[in-house]
Amino acid sequence: MIGCVICPVFRPVDKPRLPNWPPCCDSCRTRLRVELAEIPDLYALIPDHLEPETGTGVKVSGTRTPPLPLRLDPLNLLVAGPKRQPVHDLFHDQYGPQPPLVVLDLWVAEWIDTRGQGERQPVPTITTLTGWLLNRLDWALDNHPAVDEFARETHQTLKAIRSVTQSHRTGASVGTCPSMLRDDTRCDAKLYADPYVDSIACGRCGSTWTRRDSGWLHLAAMQAWWVDNQTEEAA
């Protein structure tokens, strides 16, 4: 059986899991849904991070170049311009990653073409595009030939938004990841639980535990077993 096609995106340090429902394993299905759903709320925070941070360095006399009125990295993600084009520098090179609105809009258009059901392109806003994609995500996970690329671009888009909004880690610490890696060592990365998200995902290996189906209880049991096992070995 072929391994999960999305595992290399979320857990590159370990070999792909064998999915119950090919071509994607259950953990990657859950994590992709969580990451896609997280984009609108974080995207709404970007305008709060447009202004440059106040520096404390010494002013150099004779400097003629005025400071930029806005930070380019969050401005690029907001898609300035009437045609939703990325921000470019003085040499006409694109500044930073593709804006989320562009990424999502292109994927919606691609899914519409692949599905071939005569669907209309929704209004191009972050909320409507992510909602449209979430409503058809199960179809894509089962049928789309490039769902791994969609997962990779969604993950990269979310990372870019987290970077400019300083939202790398949310929620409370809930211990470390008990999953085993390919070399038979414990992952041991720190885990965080967001009160507004129904899953806990490891940022290192990609293991995911959902609130439903007793996933969180299973995580707690795995962590407790590891502690007990280590205690017995030390005795």
List, for residues 120-129, the tens digit of each pLDDT value: 999 999 999 9
Tell me how crowded residue 79 is: count the other CB atoms within 10 A of its CB: 19
* End residue of a domain, out of 164, 186, 221: 164
pTM of the model: 0.67
- Which tokens in the block code for residue 223? 């962590």
- Does position 12 have pLDDT exceeding 50, yes or no? yes
List, for residues 157-166, the tens digit of each pLDDT value: 998 888 888 7
User: Which of 15-29, 136-150, 163-177, 180-194 tops mean pLDDT?
Assistant: 136-150
Tell me how crowded residue 142 is: count the other CB atoms within 10 A of its CB: 13
- Which tokens in the block code for residue 227? 């502690």
Long-range contact set of residues 78-86: C-beta below 8 Å, sequence gap at least 24: 78/46, 78/47, 78/50, 84/124
- Of 101, 4, 111, nearest to 43 (Cα)? 101
C-alpha neighbours within 13 Å on the C-beta side of residue 125: 7
Q: What is the mean pLDDT of residues 88-111?
A: 75
Residues 12 and 120 reside in one and the same domain: yes
* End residue of a domain, out of 136, 164, 192: 164
pLDDT of res. 227: 78
Higher pLDDT, 214 or 106: 106
- Does position 152 have pLDDT exceeding 80, yes or no? yes
- Does position 66 have pLDDT exceeding 50, yes or no? no
Residues 159 and 177 reside in one and the same domain: no
- Of 39, 32, 215, 211, nearest to 139 (Cα)? 32
Full domain range(s) for residue 207:
169-235
Could you give the C-alpha distances from 126 to 46, 84, 105, 166, in angstroms and in order? Answer: 12, 12, 9, 19
- Does position 55 have pLDDT exceeding 70, yes or no? no
Strands (E), the chain: 172-176, 190-193, 199-201, 208-210
- Does position 153 have pLDDT exceeding 90, yes or no? yes
pLDDT of res. 204: 72
* End residue of a domain, out of 164, 191, 224: 164
In a domain, 60, yes or no: no
